Structure 1
Amino acid sequence: MALVELRGVSKSFRKGDETITPLDNIDLDIEAGEFVSLMGPSGTGKSTLLNLVSGIDRPDSGTITVAGTEVTKLSRSKLADWRAANLGYIFQTHNLIPVLTAYENVELPTLLLKLSTTQRRQRVELALEAVGLSDRADHYPRQLSGGQEQRVGIARAIVAHPKVVVADEPTGSLDTETSEQVQILLQRLNKELDITLLMVTHDSDAARIASRQMVLDRGKFLESEREKESLREGEIGRQKVKESGAA
């Protein structure tokens, strides 16, 4: 069995009188140690998929199994415990707590686990070392650059040794140089620490660092390379227009 397995998963939302179906009867397998990137137009269900895999949301139909646990059958209380032990989440905007140091932000997920003080300290130190921020452990978010903040967020996502890490636009708020550094870091963590990653991105360069690239459009995964390339080119064009407008 794959580490992450989706079977017949659908999810719809009501928007006024309209029903929007970002995910329509999809299947997906992600093997342990895989790095999968997911692209597609805005509003096509990429973040919805991450929320379903992580148990933040529930599908209308279908099953989601992660590391042998059928997430869709867990109660709310059991789901919180399962998520703490099995899943790491990397946000686009870091989501660090400003009154906590880098060390304390990374430590937060370990407080939900049955670990001794020594075990927690070892995990936090190893996570900060893995992202190259051992020397910034006592710094607060306001004392860090955007790239450093995102690296703290990545350390927080891996500190509990999760089975799966999901990343929602992890380079979306970064400049080009910092984005490339974060991409290299994610690729290294995947290979060296055997971390399983599912990443949503609009950045075609970021998507290419993954071992497998997938494209979601109108609730379905695109199968043909021609369809995928056409959609990627459209995404690149929209990004260039956005950047030129910002300039």
Structure 2
Amino acid sequence: MALVELRGVSKSFRKGDETITPLDNVDLDIESGEFVSLMGPSGTGKSTLLNLVSGIDRVDAGSIVVAGTEVTKLSRSKLADWRAANLGYIFQTHNLIPVLTAYENVELPTLLLKLSSTQRRQRVELALEAVGLSDRADHYPRQLSGGQEQRVGIARAIVAHPKVVVADEPTGSLDTETSEQVQVLLQRLNKELDITLLMVTHDAEAAGIASRQLVLDRGRFLERDSHSGVSRKIQHAN
């Protein structure tokens, strides 16, 4: 069984008199330890997919199973508990709390778990070490560069040891040099810590660091060959 399974997933929105269907009866498998990137034009449903996998949004039809739990059947209250223990989210604009230090921002997800203060401290220290910011633990966001803020956001996403980390344009607000540094970091975390990553990006270079590249086109997934650039429809056995 794949770590993440989408079966027959559809999602539509109303925009004025028009119905937009970014996801149309799609299937997708993501194996444990995979790094999957997702590209496609704006408005094609890439962020919608992340929100469905993380339980922030609900499907219209179909099922999503993550680490053996059918997310689509969980109540709102159970979803919050499940998300805290199983899912990390990396935002494009960091979303750090300005009045909290780097350490305190990273610690936030652990407060929702049944951990002792010692266990929380160990996890936060390990997460900051993993992103190379142990020496910035007491700094506030205003005292950090954009790249350092994003690394704090990444540490916050991995601190609870989630089953899956989803990243929505994690390099979108960074300059070229800093973007490349974050790409290297994500690739290293995937390989060294065996973190399963699903990343949305508009950047073909960023997408290329993933072990598998997908394109969302007219509500369906295409798999992209990183060498030829050719995309083909994903096929699933019945």
Match of residue 244 from structure 1: none
Q: Which amino acid aligns with 1:77?
A: S
Alignment partner of 1:208 is 2:208? yes
Measure, in 2, the Cα distance between the counterparts of 1:123 and 1:156: 10
Which residue in the other structure is 1:43 paired with? 43
1:148-188 Cα distance to aligned partner (Å, 9 max, x none) = 00000000000000000000000000000000000000000
In the other structure, the counterpart of 1:243 is none
| Cα distance in structure 1, aligned partners of 2:223 and 2:66 | 24
Matched letter for residue 34 of structure 1: E
Give 5+ residue unaligned stretches, structure 1: 232-247
- 2:213–2:224 Cα contact (<8 Å) kept: no
* Aligned counterpart, 2:126: 126
More helix by share: 1
Residues 220 and 125 of structure 1, relative CA distance in 2, 3 Å threshold: same
Match of 2:135 in 1: 135
The whole-number CA distance in structure 2 between the counterparts of 1:189 and 1:224 is: 23
CA distance in 1, matches of 2:158, 2:120: 13
Q: Distance in 2 between matches of 1:230 and 1:82?
A: 37
CA drift at 1:223: 5.0
Query: What are the superposed Cα offsets for residues 68-124 of structure 1, whole Å, 9 maximum, x if unpaired?
Result: 000000000000000000000000000000000000000000000000000000000
Aligned counterpart, 1:114? 114
Question: Over aligned residue pairs, what C-alpha RMSD do you find?
Answer: 1.4
For residues 85-234 of structure 1, the aligned pairs below 5 Å read 85-222=85-222, 229=229
Segments of 5+ residues of structure 2 without an aligned counterpart are: 232-238
Describe the SS at the equivalent of 1:108.
Answer: helix
**Runs of 4 or more above 2 Å deviation:** 222-226, 228-231
Partner of 1:234: none
The one-letter amino acid paired with 1:143 is: Q
Judge conservation of contact 2:9–2:26 (CA < 8 Å) in 1: yes
Per-residue CA distance 1:41-67 (angstroms, 9 max, x = gap): 000000000000000001000000000
Which secondary structure does the structure 1 equivalent of 2:24 belong to? strand
| Structure 1 residue 218: Cα displacement | 1.2
* CA positional deviation for 1:229: 3.6
The one-letter code matched in structure 1 to 2:212 is: R
> How far does the alpha carbon of each residue in 1:14-42 deviate from its partner, in whole angstroms, 9 at most, with x for none?
00000000000000000000000000000
Normalization by structure 2: what TM-score? 0.94
| Residues 213, 223 of structure 2: 8 Å contact kept | no
Give the Å deviation of 1:222. 2.3
